[in-house]
Amino acid sequence: MTEEKVEIDVQNLTMAYGDFVIMKDLEFDIKKGEIFVILGGSGCGKSTLLKHLIGLYKPATGDIFIKGKSIVSANTSDKQSIMKEFGVLYQSGALFGSLTLEENIRIVLEEHTDLSKEEMKARADEKLALVDLKGFNGFYPSEISGGMKKRAGLARALALNPDLLFFDEPSAGLDPISSANLDRLILKIRDEIKATMVIVTHELDSIYTIADKVLFLDKDTKSIIAYGDPKELKENCQIDFVKRFLNRDGLLKQEL
């Protein structure tokens, strides 16, 4: 059962590129242990919001608290400490092609820990086994499938033992079976390490399989138009776009 402790608290957040406002006055929180999915039409700012949450972008106004600490007002040292508490899986996996899977994990450990070589190898073994890639330590990214690359990227995101994970379109480019396997892995990791997860996706099968809560961004109003359990929103939401999105009825392709 999800605990009520707040892991991420977004307060009065406005996102903008110069004078162009993308979203304004966003207010929401994410509880410990939740799988929280950010949804909306193309160009509404889903990935931009994710980049604000992980500290890559600075808000025009507002604040973001990660485990009670502001990632917006933190100085460089404090911000780096906050960022060490979470892992990020990028859409492409973002693996270094010239490094083996083990070396991709070790590079994080070499940068941020004082572990010995033996301890780093043991950590890499542990994380690869967690994502069902035991025995693939010596493989290069070019030697494995797209789904395996996503899992290897996840293993690297887990290198520092974070309990807060961010995913940007994790199922993008995967076939339905690989996508379903990744969903199963996400649930497994949430259950095993009690992780909180924030995911940008528009894959309905994934949303209904893994999401505890969803948040809908709307680029016309530049605001949150729906929030809650996706299954309940599918049945009861009175907002037309949200209802059509969650039911696929009449959706124009470009809206996805």
pLDDT of residue 254: 42
pTM: 0.89
Packing angle, helices 146-157 and 101-112, rounded to 10: 20
> Looking at the DSSP assignment, which residues form a beta bridge with residue 144?
none
pLDDT tens track for 213-238: 999 999 999 999 999 999 999 999 99
d(CA 225, CA 218): 6
pLDDT of residue 252: 43
DSSP 132: T
Answer whether residue 255 shows pLDDT above 70: no
**Tokens coding 69:** 């600490």
pLDDT of residue 159: 94
d(CA 178, CA 225): 31
Please identify which residue in the block is written with the tokens 């809650």. Answer: 228
Task: Please state the rounded mean pLDDT for residues 184-211.
Answer: 92
Among 158, 6, 157, 14, smallest CA distance to 72 is for 14
d(CA 157, CA 123): 12
Among 193, 137, 131, smallest CA distance to 161 is for 193
Report domain 1-85+163-225's class.
Answer: alpha beta
Domain coordinates in residue numbering, the chain: 1-85+163-225, 97-161
Answer whether residue 136 shows pLDDT above 90: yes
pLDDT tens track for 62-78: 999 999 999 999 999 99
Please identify which residue in the block is written with the tokens 């940068």. Answer: 111
pLDDT greater at residue 15 or residue 43: 15
pLDDT of residue 249: 54
Among 54, 56, 58, 55, smallest CA distance to 14 is for 58
